[in-house]
């Protein structure tokens, strides 16, 4: 335990940054967790798959906004500071969550209902586009050199924690409200909770310490721009985009889409599907610091390769086997297999990206390629899966997942071992 001890100021900053990250991702994933309930309210169609496809389209729009948020807020974090970027991102998330909470239904306001949902999701996309880069950079720069993998893993640990909180809220509401009540009005509750928490985090983040990496930069440092990023760090940006594409697609496949898959394809009821995902996410959360510590010991690349190669190999067999499962316990154990491989990526990807770029452009370098890769592949997961299911060739989705994860494995092979060649020079 002494080896992991860090100064109190750094520890408070890491906890503060992590708590804010958890709330941001809770707000983002609440949409996915409750889509099965509010889909009929905004898109009154008879076919459940068509309803989910409509909500998935708006889910994807949020991802389209993330590269824009990454560009704008990545530059903001590089010029105004990591703390300022974190505060702005959570303020935008508050606005988006509150807007969803009060959005009128289709029956009450016609197209104004789904339009409000769209605008709110765009605000959340802008927020999260900046949040990932700002929090990844902040935690990586605040963590001590020898245990950077362990402490930086809290970035994704709290990301999953946010998703887990969204699932737990769903479980609690399912226990106290009927499905009719959840569909009528109960789905608004998690967004009210998210807005209140986002406001509290905004006040917390305004008092965080700034990172030494940002404070120690030269006054005449180059201005952080997308043009400079592409000119001087093209190779790193492309590889980060490829890595993020596979990691993002896998993460959304096995967590947010899995709930719908278990309900819509495997045949579990909505509550059981939610319980299965909740248990799987607990395991996934606990794996983050484990794989972060392993990266400190053995390097970042072996952990990423575990995901890129192992994750690609188990993807299709996992889904093909799930199609035949009727036991919730067996389904849960099956999902834990790809999620364990996935932890090799999730625990270390943010740190690797931060270690690839110099401080003056680190916020943008971490955020923009990640957001682009996620928008193209992660944000379209549900649309692709549901479209292929609707076309009667759902099995193609399983091999699509494997191929994109394999692309992340190729990117990993081309990356340097950042444990030995980190551009974060401060300890």
Q: Where are the domains of the chain?
A: 10-414
Q: Rounded to whole angstroms, what are the CA distances from 247 to 68, 174, 262, 324, 380?
A: 20, 30, 21, 26, 13
| pLDDT at residue 77 in the model | 85
| pLDDT at residue 3 in the model | 46
Q: Which of 140, 61, 159, 87 is nearest to 363 (CA)?
A: 140
Q: Tokens 């990023």 — which residue?
A: 229
| pLDDT at residue 5 in the model | 53
Residue 129: CB atoms within 10 Å: 32
Residue 420: CB atoms within 10 Å: 9
| pLDDT at residue 16 in the model | 74
pLDDT in tens, the chain (427 residues): 444 556 677 777 777 778 778 888 898 888 877 887 888 888 776 567 766 777 777 767 777 788 888 888 888 888 888 888 888 888 898 999 999 999 998 888 888 888 888 889 889 888 888 887 788 888 888 878 888 888 888 888 888 888 889 888 988 998 899 989 998 899 999 999 999 999 988 888 888 888 878 877 756 778 888 899 999 999 999 999 999 999 999 998 998 899 889 988 998 988 899 889 889 989 999 999 999 999 999 999 999 999 999 999 999 999 999 999 999 999 999 999 999 999 999 999 989 998 999 988 998 998 899 889 988 898 889 889 999 999 999 999 999 999 999 999 999 999 999 988 887 876 5
Output the CA torsion sign for 84, 90, 93, 95. negative
Residue 320: CB atoms within 10 Å: 12
* Token pair belonging to 376: 């193209």
Q: Are 120 and 58 in contact (CB under 8 A)?
A: no
CATH number of the structural domain 10-414: 1.20.1250.20
| pLDDT at residue 168 in the model | 86
* pTM of the complete model: 0.81
Q: How far is CA 186 from the centre of its chain?
A: 25
């Amino acid at each position: 335990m002494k080896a992991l001890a860090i100064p109190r100021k750094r520890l408070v900053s890491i906890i503060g940054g992590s708590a804010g990250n958890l709330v941001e991702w809770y707000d983002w994933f609440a949409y996915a967790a409750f889509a099965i309930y509010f889909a009929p309210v905004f898109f009154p169609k008879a076919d459940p798959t068509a309803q989910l496809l409509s909500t998935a389209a708006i889910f994807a729009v949020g991802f389209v906004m993330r590269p824009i948020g990454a560009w704008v807020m990545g530059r903001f974090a590089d010029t105004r500071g990591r703390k300022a970027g974190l505060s702005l991102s959570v303020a935008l998330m508050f606005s988006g969550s509150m807007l969803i909470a009060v959005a009128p239904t289709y029956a009450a306001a016609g197209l104004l209902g789904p339009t409000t949902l769209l605008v709110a999701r765009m605000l959340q996309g802008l927020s999260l586009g900046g949040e990932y880069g700002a929090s990844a950079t902040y935690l990586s720069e605040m963590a001590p050199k020898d245990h950077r993998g362990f402490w930086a893993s809290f970035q994704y640990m709290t990301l999953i924690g946010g998703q887990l909180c969204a699932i737990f809220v769903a479980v609690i509401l399912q226990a106290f409200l009927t499905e009719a009540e959840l569909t009528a009005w109960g789905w608004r509750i998690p967004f009210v909770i998210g807005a209140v928490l986002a406001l509290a985090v905004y006040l917390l983040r305004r008092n965080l310490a700034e990172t030494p990496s940002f404070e120690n930069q030269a006054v005449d440092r180059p201005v952080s721009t997308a043009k400079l990023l592409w000119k001087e760090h093209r190779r790193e940006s492309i590889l980060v985009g490829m890595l993020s594409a596979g990691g993002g697609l896998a993460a959304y496949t096995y967590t947010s889409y899995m709930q719908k898959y278990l309900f819509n394809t495997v045949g579990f009821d909505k509550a059981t599907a939610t319980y299965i995902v909740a248990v799987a996410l607990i395991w996934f959360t606990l794996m983050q610091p484990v794989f972060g510590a392993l990266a400190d010991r053995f390097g970042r690349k072996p952990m990423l390769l575990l995901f890129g190669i192992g994750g690609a190999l188990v993807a299709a067999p996992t889904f093909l086997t799930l199609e035949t499962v009727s036991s919730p316990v067996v389904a849960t154990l099956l999902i834990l297999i790809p999620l364990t491989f996935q932890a090799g990526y999730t625990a270390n990807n943010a740190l690797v990206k931060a270690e690839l770029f110099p401080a003056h452009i680190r916020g943008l370098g971490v955020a923009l390629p990640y957001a682009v890769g996620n928008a193209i592949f992660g944000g379209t997961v549900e649309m692709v899966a549901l479209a292929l299911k609707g076309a009667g060739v759902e099995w193609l989705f399983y091999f699509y997942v494997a191929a994109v994860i394999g692309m992340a494995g190729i990117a990993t092979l081309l990356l340097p071992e950042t444990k030995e060649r980190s551009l974060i020079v401060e300890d």
